[in-house]
């Protein structure tokens, strides 16, 4: 992955392979996939045949002129093939680095299909098998120094994992059973401790396998916008083809009527057709699409299709998780606020017991704060027979059931309040002011209950990331609405939203609420993007138009999304949108340039081709080109060379700056519209002067 990022645009090895691939793409079957360039391909064949006729003395024009036209038409086809092959070559280089992850490894397969819950590593018994023989549902032991043999989820243990081969990041990550950070990827390496992994894929279906297939783009499907543009280009080509087909009969009729001049030749008509049809964008269209997906991969994002990349450019609503995206994501317990009549140590003790089995950073921080504040709690542990109540998005609570019927719960105020009322306790109106006070500061209040009694509030502090407000302002100028998604109550959510500068927020978010919000925006005709990493995010990810799953998240989230962020950075969604917009802008800019630069070719070729029949057309020769032959050849040469000149722009993309759609349109029309008009006049004139200086005019 990181090797690709250091490749030069025209890396010597890639350019050499692309040149060879360009020759291989000269087969009719390969050329037929691009209708515009297929017309140029047929024109190259026709002029080559005309050249052979000219050698035998039956030529319609000098053999040297026909040969020059034929060669430059072949160059035009080859340059178009080279652009596509170079884009594909860069993707294949990325795929080659990924194949390095697929090594033949051995796995330590455990018996049965359920976690052993063994008392330590020594109790586990395994059988060595080849990793390729593992199937979905198999359990494997992975110890320090071992490669993870296949994609899966940790069901027992905790370990430090080196994922640099996938993400390019050298810092190891922690993978453990339970929660949303249990997914492991085949080809990564365990650095310390051990884990039991349940394999989630069959052979050939691993994440790396899918990455390789997506990156190679061997069977890349065209996106809807690309298909629409192709139809437009084909339509323009057919129109010009019909026009050119009528010019020879008109020319013959004019010559017959006037008795002077000569009928325009097939070589000239082919040159005119090639210069009039949108060959520039036709040659670069496929390369732009391939390069767009390649740029996503350079950002460590795997897109399952070009459609997803394109949709990212059209997104106008972003759903962003608060934690880790808008805030730093390291919410830490900072204070205990006991209810009236409750001792602070009693609140801390209950919160500690309810958090001992909670392996989230928040749960661990509650345990740490309680033991730091009260030395009497440093040795407190939960009984072995206690039953843990894990957190769920539906209940929005977690806790522990102790022997003797004692139940401890911590969670959102309204959820714990309902739990207490169900047990016959008071509603806890007295705590409302404390909860609201914590929320107004932008912190998260967790309420602790012991059975039917509310004990108090634990404050969790988080910090809004620096620069987030400015980034959201940029998105607003682009016409994109930002919506913060959080499980916090409305008061806390409103405080964070105001500080961060988001346009709207969804508080106390449940999977059902996220799904309903996405459908609401889509019903209004908007395109929605969101990120997620948990199984509870899967329904919303499946519904969103652009769904970015975290690589560190669950398998369900990855399968529901249409992109995977290898860095597991929630803020990557903003970069994805910018990359998608850059791809759309690149396609639009080059289409504008391609159509605009045809105008200069009209002034070069049309007077040269028909001035013998219609002398009045000499007035259109505003460039004062040396001769009709030089004018036609100069236009054909420029038509070929401009493709090579624009390959770097097609691969890198048009420079993107956050602005409104109207502002971007004005800028591109000015730069690529007027530029497309001006550049060919200068280019064709310079080529004409060069041909004249070399005595070839």
Encoded tokens for 49? 């045949």
| Gap between the Cα atoms of 189 and 174, Å rounded | 12
Length of the chain: 697
| Gap between the Cα atoms of 156 and 182, Å rounded | 10
Helix (H) or strand (E) holding 153: strand 152-162
391 labeled binding residue:
yes
209 labeled binding residue:
no
Query: Which whole-number Å values give the CA distances from 96 to 15, 203, 215, 595, 649, in the listed order?
Result: 16, 19, 10, 37, 24
365 labeled binding residue:
no
| Gap between the Cα atoms of 173 and 170, Å rounded | 9
Residue among 502, 562, 494, 500 nearest 527 (CA): 562
Tally DSSP H helices, then E strands, for the chain: 24, 20
| Gap between the Cα atoms of 370 and 399, Å rounded | 16
Residue among 570, 511, 513, 521 nearest 545 (CA): 521
For tokens 């369900």, name the residue.
Answer: 556
| Gap between the Cα atoms of 77 and 335, Å rounded | 70
| Gap between the Cα atoms of 233 and 27, Å rounded | 22
Encoded tokens for 561? 């999304």
Q: Which residues are catalytic?
A: 321
Residue among 424, 427, 425, 416 nearest 389 (CA): 416
392 labeled binding residue:
yes
| Three-class SS state of 336 | strand
* Burial of residue 451 (number of CB atoms within 10 Å: 0-12, 13-18, 19+): middle
Q: Which residues contact 455 (CB under 8 A, 6 or more apart)?
A: 338, 339, 342, 346, 347, 350, 351, 448, 449
Q: What is the SS3 string spanning 382-405? A: CCCCCEEECCCCCCCEEEEEECCC
| Gap between the Cα atoms of 72 and 638, Å rounded | 9
- Name the phi and psi angles at 622, rounded to 5: -75, -15
219 labeled binding residue:
no
| Gap between the Cα atoms of 580 and 578, Å rounded | 5
395 labeled binding residue:
yes
533 labeled binding residue:
yes
396 labeled binding residue:
yes
Q: Are strands 528-532 and 317-321 parallel, antiparallel or unpaired?
A: parallel
358 labeled binding residue:
yes
What residues form the annotated binding site for ATP? 358, 362, 391-398, 410
What residues form the annotated binding site for Mg(2+)? 533, 537
What residues form the annotated binding site? 358, 362, 391-398, 410, 533, 537
């Amino acid at each position: 992955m990181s090797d690709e990022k250091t490749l030069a645009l025209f890396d010597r090895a890639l350019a050499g392979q692309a040149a060879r691939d360009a020759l291989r793409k000269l087969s009719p079957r390969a050329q037929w996939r691009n209708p515009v360039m297929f017309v140029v391909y047929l024109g190259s064949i026709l002029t080559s045949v005309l050249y052979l006729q000219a050698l035998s003395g039956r030529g319609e024009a000098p053999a040297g002129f026909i040969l020059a036209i034929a060669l430059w038409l072949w160059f035009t086809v080859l340059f178009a093939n080279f652009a596509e092959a170079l884009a594909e070559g860069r993707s294949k280089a990325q795929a080659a680095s990924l194949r390095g992850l697929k090594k033949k490894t051995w796995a330590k397969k455990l018996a049965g299909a359920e976690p052993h819950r063994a008392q330590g590593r020594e109790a586990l018994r395994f059988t060595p098998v080849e990793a390729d023989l593992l199937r979905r549902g198999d359990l494997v032991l992975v110890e320090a120094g071992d490669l993870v043999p296949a994609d899966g989820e940790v069901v027992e243990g905790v370990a430090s994992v080196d994922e640099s081969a996938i993400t390019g990041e050298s810092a190891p990550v922690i993978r453990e059973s339970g929660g949303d950070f249990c997914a492991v990827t085949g080809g990564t390496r365990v650095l310390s401790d051990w884990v039991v992994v349940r394999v989630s894929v069959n052979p050939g279906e691993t994440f790396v396998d899918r990455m390789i297939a997506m990156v190679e783009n061997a069977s890349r499907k065209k996106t809807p916008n690309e298909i629409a543009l192709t139809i437009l280009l084909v339509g323009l080509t057919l129109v010009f083809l019909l026009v050119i087909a009528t010019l020879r009969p008109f020319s013959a009729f004019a010559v017959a009527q006037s008795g002077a001049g000569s009928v325009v030749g097939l070589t000239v008509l082919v040159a005119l057709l090639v210069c009039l049809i949108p060959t520039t964008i036709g040659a670069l269209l496929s390369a732009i699409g391939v390069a767009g997906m390649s740029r996503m991969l350079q950002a460590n994002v795997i897109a399952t299709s070009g459609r997803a990349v394109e949709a990212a450019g059209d997104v106008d609503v972003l759903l962003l998780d608060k934690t880790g995206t808008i805030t730093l994501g390291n919410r830490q317990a900072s204070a205990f606020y006991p209810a009236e009549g409750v001792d602070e140590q009693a609140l801390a003790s209950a919160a500690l017991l309810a958090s001992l089995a909670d392996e989230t950073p928040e749960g661990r921080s509650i345990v740490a704060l309680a033991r730091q504040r009260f030395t009497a709690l440093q040795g407190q542990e939960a009984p072995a027979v206690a039953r843990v109540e894990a957190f769920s998005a539906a209940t929005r609570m977690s806790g522990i059931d102790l022997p003797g019927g004692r139940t401890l719960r911590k969670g959102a105020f309204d959820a714990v309040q309902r739990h207490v009322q169900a047990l016959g306790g008071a509603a806890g109106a007295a705590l409302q002011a404390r909860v609201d006070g914590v929320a107004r500061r932008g912190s998260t209040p967790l309420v602790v209950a012991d059975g039917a009694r509310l004990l108090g509030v634990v404050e969790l502090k988080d910090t809004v990331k620096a620069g987030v407000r400015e980034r959201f302002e940029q998105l607003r100028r682009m016409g994109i609405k930002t919506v913060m998604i959080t499980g916090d109550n409305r008061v806390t959510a409103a405080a964070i939203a105001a500080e961060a500068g988001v346009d709207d927020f969804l508080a106390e978010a449940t999977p059902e609420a996220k799904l309903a919000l996405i459908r609401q925006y889509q019903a209004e005709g908007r395109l929605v993007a969101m990120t997620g990493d948990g199984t509870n995010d899967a329904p919303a990810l499946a519904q969103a138009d652009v769904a970015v799953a975290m690589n560190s998240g669950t398998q369900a989230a990855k399968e529901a999304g249409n992109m995977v962020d290898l860095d597991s950075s929630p803020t990557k969604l903003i970069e994805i949108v910018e990359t998608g917009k850059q791809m759309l802008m690149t396609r639009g800019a080059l289409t504008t340039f391609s159509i605009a630069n045809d105008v200069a070719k009209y002034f070069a070729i049309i007077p040269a081709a028909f001035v013998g029949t219609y002398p009045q057309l000499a007035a259109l020769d505003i460039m004062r080109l040396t001769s009709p032959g030089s004018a036609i050849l100069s236009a054909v040469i420029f038509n070929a060379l401009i493709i090579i000149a624009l390959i770097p722009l097609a691969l890198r993309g048009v420079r993107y700056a956050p602005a409104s759609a109207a502002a971007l349109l004005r800028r591109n029309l000015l730069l690529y519209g007027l530029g497309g008009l001006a550049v060919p006049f200068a280019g064709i004139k310079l080529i004409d002067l060069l041909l004249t200086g070399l005595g070839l005019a």
